[in-house]
Chain A
Amino acid sequence: MTARRSITFAFAVLLVVCLLGQAATVHRLDQMRPEKTLEEVLYVPSAKVLQRLSLGYNGLLADIYWTRAVQYFGTRLSSRTKSTRYDLLYPLLDITTDLDRNLIPAYEFGASFLTQTPPLGAGQADNAVKLLKKGVAANPEQWRLYFDLGFVYYLNLKDYAAAADAFRQAGSMPGGNPNVLPMAAASAQLGGDPRVARALWQLTYDQASQDLVRKNAQAHVRSMDLDDAVPYLESKVAQFRAQHGRNPAGWMEMARAGVLPGVPKDPAGDFYRLTADGHVLVQHPDKFPFATRGIPDTE
C-alpha cells in the first residue's frame, strides 16, 4: 500500500469512527438534557419581540411556530395519558397568529385542538373563543371562522344565543355559506338538543376541505350515533330477557326471535359484541374516540 493510500485509508477510518462516535455522544447528551427537547421549549414568549427579531420574515416565523404548535399537540396526543396537559398550546397558537394574522389554518385547527376534551385536546374552550375572535377580527371575510366560533359556543360553552349569532354571520355574510343558516335557527330554538350537535358535525364533515377535519367530524358523528345505538340495542336485549328469562346467546338468536330485524352493525360497519351479561360493545373502540357508550373498559 502506498503512503498516499495509507493516509486516505487512515483518515477514512477516522472519519467513520468520529461520525459514529459524535452521533452516540449527541444521543447521550440529549438524554442528559431532556428539558431542552422540543416539546416544552417556547423560545421567545413574546410575539412582538419575535417580530423584531425576525427581520421582516414574520410569515416564515409564523409557519415555523405553527409547525411547532402542531408537533406539540401531536406528540402529546400520541403519548396521552389521563394527566396529559397542553399548557403551551395556546401560547404557541397566540404567537403564531400574532406573527401572521392571516394564517387561517392556525385559527381553525388551533381552535379544534383547544376545544377537544382532555386528554384528546386541551379542553380550553375559552382560549379557543379568544383565538377565533382574534381570527375573525383579522379576517372578517372568512365565514369558516364564524362557523367555528359558533361551533365552540354551541358544543363547548353551551352559549346557544352566541352560537346562533355566529352561525348567522357565517351564513349571511357576503361570500358566506347559506347551508349554515339553518344551524342559526336550530341553535336559537333547540339549544342543547343533541340532534343539533350531530347536524353541526355532519355539516362540518360535508363542508370540510381538509381530510383531517373530515376524519375528526366523522369520528364525532360516528360516536354520537353509537351513543344513540347502544341504549337502543341494550333495550332490545332487555326485551329478549323479559320474553325468555335469560340473556340471548348472540345477535342471530335475537334476530330469529324477531326482536331485531337482523344482525346489527355499528356506525363504522363492524358487528357489535354482545357480552354474556347482556351488554353491547364495539369491536374497535379506537374508531369511536368520543363515544361514551359501548366502549370496553380498558382498566
Chain B
Amino acid sequence: MSARIRHIAFNTFREAVRDRVLYNLVFFAVLMAGASILLGQISIDIERQVVVNLGLSAVSLFGVVIAIFIGIGLVAKEIERRTLYTVLARPVRRWEFIVGKFLGLVGTLVVNTFFMALGVFAALLYVARHFERGDLSVAVALYFIVLEFVVITALALLFSSFSSPLLSAVLTFALFIVGTFAEDLRGFAAMTHGAVRGIVTVMAYLMPNFAALNVISQSAHQQPIAGSLILYNTVYAVLYAGAALAGAVLIFERRNLK
C-alpha cells in the first residue's frame, strides 16, 4: 500500500474518532451489561443465547449505521469543506483518495467492532461463567459482520462518489435491506421464465448478498460454521467490495470537481 493511501486512511480514522463515532461503544457497553444482568434474572436458560443474539445484532446494527452515515459523507464532506482540493492539489491520485477513505472507514469499523466484541465476550463470560469450544462460532459471526461492513462501506462510498449524502444514505440503506433478502430475490428470479428470467437473475446477482454473512442464530446455538463458508464469504466480500470500489473510482475519476 502506498504511503499516500496510508495517510488518507489514517486521517479518515482520526477524523471519525474526532467525530466521536466511538462513543457508541459506551452505549453498547451499557446495553450488554444491562441485558446480561436483567436477563439472568427474568428468563430461564436462554441467557447465553440472548447475550449472543443481542450482542451480535447490536454490533451489526451499530456498525451498519456507522458505515452508512460516515461512508456517505466521505467524499461529499471533503468537497463541501473544500479540503478535497487541497488533497488533490498534492501528488495524490483520485483512486488513491477513494481507496484511502475506504480503508480508513473500514479500519474505524474494525476497531469499533473489536471493542464491541470484547463487550460481547465479557457478557458471555458473565452469564456462562466459562468459555466453550462452541463460542468460537461467535468469533466467526463477528468476522462475518466485519465482512458485511466492508461491503456496506464500499457501497456507501460508491453512492457518495456521485450523489448527495441524503440520496447516498437512502440508496445504501435500501441495498442493505435488499441484500438481507438476497436469497429470496434469487429464488424469485429462478421462478420466472423467458427473457424476464435473464434480466431478473442478472439484477438479483448484482445485489449484495448479506444473508450468507448472517450466522448470528447459529452462533447463539453454538453450531459449528463450515470452513468453506468462511472462505467463500471472505472471497465474496472482497470481490463485491472490489467491484463497488472500482465503480466508485471510475465515477470519481470522471467527476468534474470545479
Contact = CB atoms under 8 A, between A and B. Distances in A.
Interface of A: 4, 7-8, 11-12, 14-15, 18-19, 21-23, 25-30, 32-33, 36-39, 41, 71, 74-75
Contacts of A8: 250, 253-254
B165 to A, nearest CB: 23
Interface in B238-258: 239-240, 242-243, 246-247, 249-250, 253-254
Given A25-B239, A33-B229, 13 more contacts: A7-B93, A8-B253, A11-B250, A18-B243, A19-B243, A21-B235, A22-B205, A22-B236, A26-B236, A30-B186, A36-B211, A37-B187, A39-B187
A11 B102 CA distance: 15
Contact of B183 (A12, A21, A30): A30
Interface of B: 93, 95, 182-184, 186-188, 191, 205-206, 209, 211-212, 226, 228-229, 232-233, 235-236, 239-240, 242-243, 246-247, 249-250, 253-254
B236 A15 contact: no
Given A7-B95, A38-B188, A18 B253 contact: no
A7 B249 contact: yes
A36 B226 CA distance: 15
Contacts of A36: 183, 211-212
6 contacts: A11-B246, A27-B205, A29-B236, A32-B232, A36-B212, A71-B191
A15 B247 contact: yes
B249 A11 contact: yes
B90 to A, nearest CB: 16
B212 A29 contact: yes
Contacts of B235: 21, 25
Contact of B246 (A18, A27, A28): A18
B95 A74 contact: no
Contacts of B186: 26, 30
Given A7-B253, A12-B246, A37-B183, A25 B93 contact: no
Contact of A33 (B93, B212, B246): B212
Contacts of B243: 14-15, 18-19, 22
Contacts of A32: 226, 228-229, 232
Name which of A14, A19, A28, A29 has the most chain B CB atoms within 10 A of its CB: A29
A37 B191 CA distance: 12
B250 A18 contact: no
Interface of A is mostly: helix
Contacts of A29: 209, 212, 229, 232-233, 236
A4 B253 contact: yes
Contacts of B254: 8
Nearest to B184: A38
Contacts of B233: 29
Contact of A14 (B182, B205, B236, B242): B242
Contacts of B211: 36
Contacts of B250: 8, 11-12, 15
Contacts of A11: 95, 246, 249-250, 253
Contacts of A28: 232
B229 to A, nearest CB: 6
A30 B211 CA distance: 10
Contact of B236 (A7, A25, A38, A75): A25
Nearest to B254: A8
A41 to B, nearest CB: 7
A26 B226 contact: no
Name which of A18, A21, A22, A23 has the most chain B CB atoms within 10 A of its CB: A22
A27 B204 CA distance: 11
A12 B211 CA distance: 27
B246 A15 contact: yes
Nearest to A71: B191
Nearest to B209: A26
